[in-house]
Amino acid sequence: MSSQEIPNDIILFHYTFSPFAKRIVWYLKLRGIPYAECIQPLTLPRPDLAELGINYRRIPLLSIGRDVYYDTRLILARLEQSFPASSYPPLSMPNNKGLEALLEKFTVDAGIFSKAAQSLPPDLPVMKDEKFLKDRADFTGTSWSQADRVKGYPEALAHIRHAFDILEALLADGRQWIGGTDKVSLADIHAVWPFNWIGDMLPKQAFPKDQHPKTWAWLSRFKKTVKEVEASSKKTVSLDGQAAIQHIMSASYHDQQTGVDSNDPVKLNEGDLVQLWPTDSGFRHKDQGHLVKLTNDEVVLAIQTKTGGKEIRVHAPRWGFRVVKAKAQL
């Protein structure tokens, strides 16, 4: 497939049920930014990513040209930068940047995702799938056994109720959208995704609608809005693994900037052979490559694809990731 058929040179690697991936899908659809997608399996192995030389195991990933971005926090930050308000209608509000950042911290870094995952009904069919449970135990480093899930379920629900209290307080003044905007905004994407994911599966007796009326109304308002946008958007270009790999390997670098901040406390140099991995989940899967760029909020490695030994670059945020000098070749 030629590069013209890949809108904006963007490929989103994800699967439909990923609540993290929804952050990116909604963002792109709400802004009307066309992109291509390459659907991945729900569990490892993921041969397309392995062929690209990528060990990072989390979903989603997003490539722009020959650069592959890990983690929704960095993906959204780079999309904001690469597609400013002058190119597509904005979703982020200039005077809401602080609130947006705090809401993202709340849902991504404050443990809401793991509590939401533990709030999934223990009797869901996927929770009886041994392959899935083993895969997610590798991902989190904790037990996903049926017995442990049943034991942890009530406490997780209590934590999610606490999170609902916070949302209800944010919506208390009658605002329609969480950032106080007239229309849906990036603040809503940051706040809504874990609750949108589990909302309909939460037990009604622990979550009566009249206890958090504004939160439930906001959740259904959001659902309706994205459903309408998805229904009216052009169909997303779907690529198979080979088309996605070939495109990335032959594309140009989207990010031309390189260089390592010499004052960075971790004291690494451009060109160092380093290892990179996330520290909160998926931490058993490390990438190795040469350091291309290191800033306050981003680390970039040049890695080799498995087939053809071509160089591509992978980008990760600093927060929640570790980058250290590699001891030896992997």
Residue 73 interacts with ligand GSH (CB under 6 A)?
yes
Stretch that binds ligand GSH, among 67-75, 146-154, 157-165, 229-237 (CB under 6 A): 67-75
Site string for ligand GSH, 113-152 (x = CB under 6 A): --------------------------x-------------
Residue 103 interacts with ligand GSH (CB under 6 A)?
no
Stretch that binds ligand GSH, among 18-26, 81-89, 183-191, 236-244 (CB under 6 A): 18-26
Residue 317 burial (CB count, 10 A) = 20
Give dist(CA 183, CA 30) in Å, integer: 11
Residue 57 interacts with ligand GSH (CB under 6 A)?
yes
Cα-based torsion angle of the residue sequence 277, 282, 286, 290 in order, rounded to the nearest 10 degrees: -40
| Cβ atoms of residues 275 and 286 within 8 Å | yes
User: C-beta of 93: minimal distance to ligand GSH in Å?
Assistant: 21
Give dist(CA 312, CA 301) in Å, integer: 8
How far is residue 272 from each of residues 68, 212, 326, measured CA to CA in Å?
A: 19, 52, 8
Stretch that binds ligand GSH, among 1-9, 52-60, 264-272, 302-310 (CB under 6 A): 52-60
User: C-beta of 121: minimal distance to ligand GSH in Å?
Assistant: 17
How many alpha carbons fall within 13 Å on the CB side of residue 315? 27
Residue 69 interacts with ligand GSH (CB under 6 A)?
no
User: C-beta of 214: minimal distance to ligand GSH in Å?
Assistant: 26
- Element containing residue 302 per DSSP (H, E): strand 298-304
Kindly list the residues in this chain that would bind ligand GSH in the complex (CB under 6 A): 18-20, 57-59, 71-73, 108, 139, 281
